[in-house]
Homo-oligomer: A and B are copies of this chain.
Amino acid sequence: MTATRSVLAAQATDFPRWFQDVISKAELADNGPVRGTMVVRPYGYGIWELLQEAMNRRIKATGAQNAYFPLLIPESYLQREAEHVEGFSPELAVVTHAGGKQLEEPAVIRPTSETVVGEYLAKWIQSYRDLPLLLNQWANVVRWELRPRLFLRTTEFLWQEGHTAHASAEDARAFATKILYDVYRQVMVDVLAIPVVVGRKTRRERFAGAVNTMTLEAMTGDGKALQMGTSHELGQNFARAFDIGYLSSEGRRELAWTTSWGSSTRMVGGLIMVHGDDNGLRVPPAVAPVQVVVLAVKDEAITAAHAIADELTAEGLRVTVDDRADQPFGRRAVNWELKGVPIRIEVGPRDLAANNATVVRRLRDSAKTAVNLTELTAHVVNAIEADQTHLLAEATARQTARITTVSTVDEAVDAAATGWARIPYDAVGEQGEDRLGESGITVRCLQRPDGGLPVEDNEPDLTAYVARSY
């Protein structure tokens, strides 16, 4: 399978280039015509759809309901929350003309929807009976990026953004935390097979307008960190700015407490960067648009290939037949490998003569195993399940191996050259964050000694995870 190597940069040589190559050769996405935008091709979108479905189901299980808020937000809305506007102003895309005329008030394309949702929460919430109000939307947002990169940082991206209002700070915190663990971590670990370190952002890394940002960080194949999702306690900042109030059960008017939380097409970038290898993409079975490809090596095997596929499809697997027997077999095999399809079944006249098929497990060692046709379906069903688990175990082992425990900022800088550093936050502090920043390194998140979430910025004995990041 050295043929693939010629089409992809090697990970060890140039990881970012390898990333771009995979996206292009596996037909996941293309650059859009407006700088920084992205065209998601069917194979990439198929992964996103399955991921979205897994996420959406878990979001609904928390009691949140989907809704849809407008793309265009009056510019003045952004200005109502001081930190929010400061954080997002440099990234806004502004509509100044529409319907052939200059607009009286320019409209911005949403970079996120706290402001417009805030306006409606204020309208819809009257009494404590209306709380908690739990909303989510699947939408596109636009943030003008200086250094765009497909899937990771695109000018337009697809995401879900949740917005909730609660009667108390405790309730808001509990819900934001539930999303973090029961929705985001579950999807990342159980569905994407990506281990994540969960923690609290430092003050400087916080979402613009939040009092607390919680994050899930994944380790990429080159030892950097990738923020996979965030959940924010917004305190009463937006409630104050948009007057989201309610009448308490005692008849007093109170301000609500709000949260917001988001996860995006960036997760697809994470999947590529965590699981990919020098031969291309490796897609976890749970989000693989094609879980099994059955290749007919020659014309004589086409009927058998379809019969095998039918049996696997009947088991609920997502199966494709590649019966382009007039095209070179080697190139077809390499292509499916590049696309990271978990199981490849090769059927040729020789296999059939022996009542066998050849099974290749992309997520393991890609060795070729002859499997008797009578056992094939059971074999594949087991392999799919085992390989989802294997992928997670592999990523977890690498993550563990590449986190170094250190005690000074200098050591952290060294360790972050090839992986992550774990360091007492007391040895870093805001000053240490400045020094790390000079080397392009950031504190990714803070954890309590037991791995739990800090509730305040200044808790003692916190552990900081420190890394370069995408």
Contact = CB atoms under 8 A, between A and B. Distances in A.
A98 interface: yes
A46 interface: yes
A366 B33 CA distance: 55
B107 A69 contact: no
A38 B70 contact: yes
A95 interface: yes
Given A45-B67, A70-B156, 15 more contacts: A30-B123, A32-B116, A33-B74, A37-B71, A38-B68, A42-B66, A45-B65, A71-B71, A71-B140, A71-B142, A72-B142, A90-B99, A91-B99, A95-B109, A96-B96
A174 interface: no
A39 interface: yes
A39 to B, nearest CB: 6
Interface string A33-57: 1100111111001101100000000
A89 B98 CA distance: 10
Nearest to A33: B74
Contact of A65 (B38, B46, B142): B46
A350 to B, nearest CB: 28
A330 interface: no
A144 B99 contact: yes
Contacts of A91: 99
Interface in A150-170: 155-156, 158
Given A39-B70, A67-B42, A70-B33, A98 B92 contact: yes
Nearest to A120: B39
A38 B137 CA distance: 14
B89 A66 contact: no
A287 B67 CA distance: 16
A69 B135 CA distance: 26
A61 interface: no
A72 B34 CA distance: 7
Contacts of A89: 100
A326 to B, nearest CB: 10
A92 to B, nearest CB: 7
Nearest to A41: B67
Contacts of A92: 98-100
Given A33-B77, A73-B34, A99-B146, A39 B68 contact: yes
A132 B47 CA distance: 22
A66 B49 contact: yes
Contacts of A98: 92-94, 142, 144
A253 interface: no
Contacts of A34: 70, 72-74, 107
A21 interface: no
A81 interface: no
B42 A135 contact: yes
Contact of A156 (B32, B71, B144): B71
A331 interface: no
A97 interface: yes
A141 to B, nearest CB: 10
B100 A93 contact: no
A71 B110 CA distance: 12
A146 B77 CA distance: 24
A49 B70 CA distance: 17
Given A42-B65, A99-B144, A135-B42, A32 B93 contact: no
